[in-house]
């Protein structure tokens, strides 16, 4: 299958390279150098990897041209925009899929296993970096979709009851550089720490259960379990038994995501991260942004 890649930046180049690796043709549309979707030649589908604020208008144009679309996160900036895209895709019987790549990684399988077997008490995600500042948005729409999408998938579409976001500005910009969002799911809580003003690149998710702590480190490609004193698994006489690494076999979630998209297009399947999933994720992101703006907790009704 030949697929148009809209955008030639860091992520667009990675997508094009992955398409080539898994045996599919790609046509890169270099928007920065003046190319448009009118330059697409003989493609059945498109992957949108332009700046976030362009996603809605670009994807709508592609759907109207009859192309199946995989849109990198966020699929659009607002709930109503995602809904409009979903309706457009349905009317033309086209596949619309959000590029929530972590949903195609070992992370979700391990988290799902933990959720089914143990009592989750708290989840903390730290998605931090130094640089790659987005000047026209807060860190929430740029970074939070990763984790919110994983939560939606692992917990079968469950919505948090409320969300509270607090931003920290380290200069005079309109948008904060660092945001902490607390999501209350009733039986457990989730804290998302995200930003681009942090001295060390950090990509971790720590899941605390009644048995201990599971730490996923994206940069190391590792899972680590640390038992707690009360679980019965803690070996006081043998400290080495308190920590072990969980083997991870998955190395290419981007390839998994693209192959799933192509499979859905060819076999008319509903994507794991399709329209309904994208609507739920965007609804939560909208409330996170609203809480950040009004500086108060927001109750979520869906």
Tell me the mean pLDDT in the region 199-218: 91
Give the C-alpha distances (Å, rounded to integers) separating 89 from 74, 120, 259. 17, 37, 20
What's the first-to-final CA gap in the chain, in angstroms?
37
Q: What is the pLDDT of residues 266-293, one digit of tens each?
A: 999 999 999 999 999 999 999 999 999 9
Dist. CA 238–CA 261, nearest whole Å: 47
**How much is the mean pLDDT over the chain?**
90
Is 31:50 a contact under the CB 8 Å cutoff? yes
**Tokens for 144?**
């939070």
CA angle 188-190-191, nearest 5°?
150
Give the C-alpha distances (Å, rounded to integers) separating 271 from 9, 88, 143, 189. 25, 16, 21, 28
Stated as kind and residue range, the H or E segment containing 255 is helix 253-267
> What percentage of the chain has pLDDT greater than the value 70?
92
Give the C-alpha distances (Å, rounded to integers) separating 3 from 46, 62, 188, 255, 279. 5, 12, 41, 14, 25
Q: What is the pLDDT of residues 147-203, one digit of tens each?
A: 999 999 999 999 999 999 999 988 777 889 999 999 999 999 999 999 998 999 999
Dist. CA 61–CA 166, nearest whole Å: 35
Cis link prior to 74 (omega < 30° from 0)?
A: yes
Give the C-alpha distances (Å, rounded to integers) separating 106 from 13, 113, 284. 23, 11, 24
Per-residue confidence (pLDDT) for residue 246, from 0 to 100? 52
More confident residue, 37 or 226: 37
Per-residue confidence (pLDDT) for residue 239, from 0 to 100? 54
Q: What is the pLDDT of residues 8-59, one digit of tens each?
A: 888 999 999 999 989 899 999 999 899 999 999 999 999 999 988 899 999 9
Look at the block and give the residue holding tokens 């984790």.
147
pLDDT at 237 over 50: no
Tell me the mean pLDDT in the region 207-215: 88
What domains appear along the chain, each with residue ranges and CATH number?
2-94 (3.40.50.720), 103-253+285-299 (3.30.360.10)
Range from 101-105, 134-138, 199-203, 285-289 carrying the lowest mean pLDDT: 134-138
- Beta strands, E only, the chain: 2-6, 25-29, 45-48, 68-72, 96-99, 120-130, 162-168, 178-184, 189-195, 197-209, 212-217, 222-227, 243-246, 298-299
């Amino acid at each position: 299958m030949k697929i148009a890649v809209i955008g030639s930046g860091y992520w667009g180049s990675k997508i094009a390279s992955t398409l080539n690796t898994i045996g599919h043709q790609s046509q890169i549309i270099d928007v920065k150098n003046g190319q448009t979707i009118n330059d697409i030649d003989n493609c059945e589908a498109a992957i949108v990897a332009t700046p976030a604020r362009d996603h809605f208008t670009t994807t709508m144009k592609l759907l109207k041209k009859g192309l199946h679309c995989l849109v990198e996160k966020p699929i659009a900036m607002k709930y109503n925009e995602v809904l409009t895209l979903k309706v457009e895709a349905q009317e033309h019987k086209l596949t619309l899929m959000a590029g929530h790549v972590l949903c195609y990684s070992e992370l979700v399988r391990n988290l799902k296993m933990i959720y089914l077997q143990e009592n989750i008490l708290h989840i903390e995600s730290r998605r931090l970096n130094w640089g790659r500042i987005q000047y026209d948005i807060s860190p929430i729409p740029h970074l939070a979709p990763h984790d919110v999408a994983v939560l939606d998938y692992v917990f079968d579409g469950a919505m948090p009851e409320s969300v509270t976001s607090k931003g920290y500005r380290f200069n005079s910009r309109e948008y904060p550089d660092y945001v902490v969002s607390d999501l209350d799911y009733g039986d457990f809580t989730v804290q998302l720490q995200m930003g681009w003003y942090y001295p060390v690149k950090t990509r971790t998710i720590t899941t605390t259960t009644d048995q201990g702590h599971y730490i996923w480190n994206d940069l190391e490609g590792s899972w680590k379990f640390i038992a707690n004193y009360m679980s019965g698994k803690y070996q006081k006489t043998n400290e080495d038994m308190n920590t072990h690494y969980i083997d991870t076999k998955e190395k290419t979630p981007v390839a998994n995501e693209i192959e799933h998209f192509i499979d859905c297009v060819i076999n008319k399947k509903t994507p794991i991260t399709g329209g309904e999933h994208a609507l739920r994720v965007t609804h939560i992101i909208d409330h996170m942004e609203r809480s950040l703006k009004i500086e108060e907790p927001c109750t979520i009704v869906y």
